[in-house]
Amino acid sequence: MIFKPYDYQKTAMQWIIDKPYCGLFLDMGLGKTVSTLTAIQELFDYCEISRVLVVAPKKVAETTWSTEAEKWEHLHDLKVVKVLGSEKQRCIALAQKADVYVTGRDNFVWLVGKYGGQLPFDVLVIDELTSFKSAKSERFKAMRIARPSVKRVIGLTGTPAPNGLIDLWAQMYCIDQGERLGKSVSKYREAYFETHKWNNIIVRCDVKKGCENIIHNKIADICLSMQAKDYLQLPDMITHTANVELSSKTMAAYTKFEKEKVLEFKDKHAGEPSNILANSAAGLMNKLSQFANGAIYDEDRQVHEIHSEKLDRLSEIVEATNGNSVLVFYQYKHDIPRIQAKLKDYKVRSYEGERDLIDWNNGKIDVLLAHPASTAYGLNMQQGGHYIVWFGTGWNLEHYQQANARLHRQGQQHPVIVYKLICSGTVDERAAATLESKKGVQQGLLDSLNYLISKHSA
């Protein structure tokens, strides 16, 4: 295909060429990958670089970068090698002569160790910069060691929201080694945020008045920020809440199960600090969400089926699409065989990798089952369909938005229709409310926990 860049893509490409280290904070669907590869191709043409390393989420590393290089005619001279698989396979890939080496973010610590902290690459592309947002993570510590050995760095991510600015320090350090936001996350936090503590543990940070603009201004010389709504005219995305009514018997069983689990949780975890409490609450909410989905794991990971109401509603939606392909996001592995059995008359596949992506976009799959954490970033799936069903939404707003953007992105020819299957009267409603309010996962879990404890204690 012939690449005809939009003006904003030309701006992004020139930004990369002009800035030895930079961030592209581009919203979902603005073509970060092709813009980056095109700039890299120009730098090769100028003889300014010789080897590029891309660090990306696993599924993106498996498909997106190589697919984009093959897709566009002007990139056909770029040889892309995937540094994935076993250690032996990764070493063989690194030994090949290539232009661009793509590896998963989970391999980055190993890679830095292999080269003794001195990466033999001119350019480091960090696809999904938020992967390095935790200054305590091993991958960030490895990046801190390796960063001085690379002369060009390109950080790719979406536009940061105000409540995510506390995570910006580590991401920016990966780019400029602390030049703009300081060498220490604690000093960054003290300068720009009000901290809230519980038992001397920081549980929340709010941006001080006026500091959001200060932070943006400090990084503006190297970070280009663009939002899709300002540059793209995408088809509408229409979201429907598909309420699922449990039978009176099943609803009574759910209510009893919820009350028992909540009161048991209250007795066991009373007095825990908020951050630890939120982690514990996630386990409770998962149990309740599994029940709402229709099956639960016991302590031995055995699956017990409870009801099929969600499966029935999903079947109705798939049938009503009249032959259009449907992307279904699930939350638990036990959802997969149950959905496959229910939709046995359709070509149903669970997403595993590149072959499934190709077949989906070529219309060879009726229903593709995908986990939002595995497919939320970078995958171009808009050619395969425009219907999405959330079998369970989960609590993570970023995963929810990014997963919907697999279909609602540049190149989509139809309005994207999203259905959320919500079991009335269950924890599904709490999860959906958290997404609607745009709260963080931790706060959403704590709010829902407090609501349920108050409800059942009364």
Q: What is the pLDDT of residues 290-315, one digit of tens each?
A: 999 999 998 888 999 999 999 999 99
Residues 241, 431 contacting (CB under 8 angstroms) = no
pLDDT band with cut points at 50, 70 and 90 for residue 275: low
Three-state SS for 207? strand
Beta carbons of 293 and 394 less than 8 angstroms apart: no
The two structure tokens encoding residue 333: 């592995």
Going by the DSSP 8-state scheme, the letter that residue 188 receives in this structure is H
Residue with tokens 């630890």: 276
Token readout for 109 is 């610590």
In angstroms, how far is CA 142 from the centroid of its own chain?
22
- Average pLDDT of the segment spanning 185-198: 87
Q: What is the tens place of the pLDDT at every residue in 424-447?
A: 999 999 999 989 888 778 888 888
Of the ranges 77-81, 226-230, 449-453, which one carries the lowest mean pLDDT score? Answer: 226-230
Average pLDDT of span 207-225:
93
Of 123, 215, 122, nearest to 172 by C-alpha is 215
CA 136 distance to own-chain centroid? 20
Beta 416-423 vs 201-207: how paired, if at all?
Answer: unpaired
The half-sphere exposure of 137 on its side-chain side, counting CA atoms within 13 A, is 16
Sequence ranges of the chain with CATH classification 3.40.50.300: 237-457
Asked whether the predicted pLDDT for residue 351 surpasses 80, the reply is yes
Other beta carbons within 10 Å of 236: 10
- Residue 138 is predicted with a pLDDT of 97
Instruction: Return d(Cα 234, Cα 227) in angstroms, integer.
Output: 12
Strand partners, 243: 422
User: Considering the domain 7-230, what is its CATH architecture?
Assistant: 3-Layer(aba) Sandwich (3.40)
Residue 424: both structure tokens together: 């009335």
Q: Are 407 and 416 in contact (CB under 8 A)?
A: yes
Q: How far apart are CA 217 and CA 201, in angstroms?
A: 30
Regarding beta strands 201-207 and 193-198, do their DSSP bridges make them parallel or antiparallel, or are they unpaired? antiparallel
Residue 267 has pLDDT above 90, yes or no: no
pLDDT at 123: 98
Residue with tokens 């000093």, as numbered in its chain: 187
How do strand 237-244 and strand 303-305 relate by DSSP bridges? unpaired
**152 in Cβ contact with 49 (< 8 Å):** yes
Q: State the sign of the Cα–Cα–Cα–Cα dihedral 147, 152, 158, 160.
A: positive
Q: Pick one of 3.40.50.720, 3.40.50.300, 2.160.20.10, 1.10.1370.40 as the CATH number of 237-457.
A: 3.40.50.300
Give the pair of three-digit tokens for residue 147: 């960063």
- Whether the pLDDT of residue 77 is over 80: the answer is yes
Strand partners, 367: 326, 348
Distance of CA 289 to the CA centre of its chain: 20
Greater confidence (92 vs 167) lies with 92
Helix, strand or coil, per DSSP, at residue 97: coil
| pLDDT for 82 | 96
Q: What is the mean pLDDT of residues 333-344?
A: 96
Q: Which two tokens stand for residue 402?
A: 């990014």
- pLDDT digits over 383-418, tens only? 999 999 999 999 988 899 999 999 998 888 888 999
What are the residue ranges of CATH 3.40.50.10810 in the chain?
Answer: 7-230
- Residue from 394, 348, 349, 389 nearest 373 by CA: 394
Q: Which residues lie closer than 8 Å to 37 by C-beta, 6 or more apart? A: 65, 68, 69, 72, 75, 78, 100
What type of residue is 373? A
Q: Are 383 and 324 in contact (CB under 8 A)?
A: no
Residue tagged 């599924």 (tokens): 59
User: Exposed (0-12), middle (13-18) or buried (19+): which is 94, by Cβ within 10 Å?
Assistant: middle
Local structure of residue 365 (DSSP, 8 states): -
**How much is the pTM?**
0.68
DSSP letter for 236, please. Answer: P
Of 418, 415, 417, 383, residue with least CA distance to 400? 418
Answer for the pair 378, 354: CB distance below 8 angstroms, yes or no: no
Write down the pLDDT at residue 91: 97
Q: What is the number of residues in the chain?
A: 458
